[in-house]
Structure 1
């Protein structure tokens, strides 16, 4: 593991500024999570696109016309059909429809948010790794 020059510097303790930045980043993450949860679950009207996605998935599950379906706010599904097909396990029924075998909306919000966060971290890691390998400035500073 220590074959590369400067590999030990990758595992050094964080300095004061790095620790502070990490704490601020984690605090912003928690605040954003609370904000998304509030807008999705606690308001009388859901303020998220997830409602339209899951209503489209419900339309796919019941065999209706995908592009005629609308969520509780009246927004129609305008996304690719593959998204509705992939979200079918999380389909959210309209008011008054048979809600048997459905995932609660709060669970769907949590799972979709967690998936988004994992994708964002993976994309950031992928971008940073590419920059470390291709950039002479970043790569040199890590090796020193």
Structure 2
């Protein structure tokens, strides 16, 4: 009977490990006029990526995108390491990058400069091999952000 129980345990399907790098928040309704395209309003729109693991993760070549297929709605990480337990905020506008804040580099152009739709959208995080690591969807105009 012990051999049968052991065989059943070994035959059980393996559970996929939860990603250690994930989208933790999307702030999609930035303050200011949504048509202005002002840098302060663009930077009020952001996505946060958190490393919940115990080791630093090299994000070089990883991408963040929204649901649209527009090529200009893809952010590719350059040389960047996300330390264990830390979060990086990726702001839509322009600015000086730091160890905790990066900038997509979008500017001007009114509503076309924004990435995140104000009523519903999905954010996708892919690793450098193009594999989907995490996603976060929202479908609400009741809030300004979505905790994922």
Q: TM-score, normalised by structure 1?
A: 0.25
Greater percentage in strand: 2
TM-score (norm 2): 0.25
Q: Which structure has the greater CA radius of gyration?
A: 1
Higher relative contact order (CA 8 A, sep 6+): 2
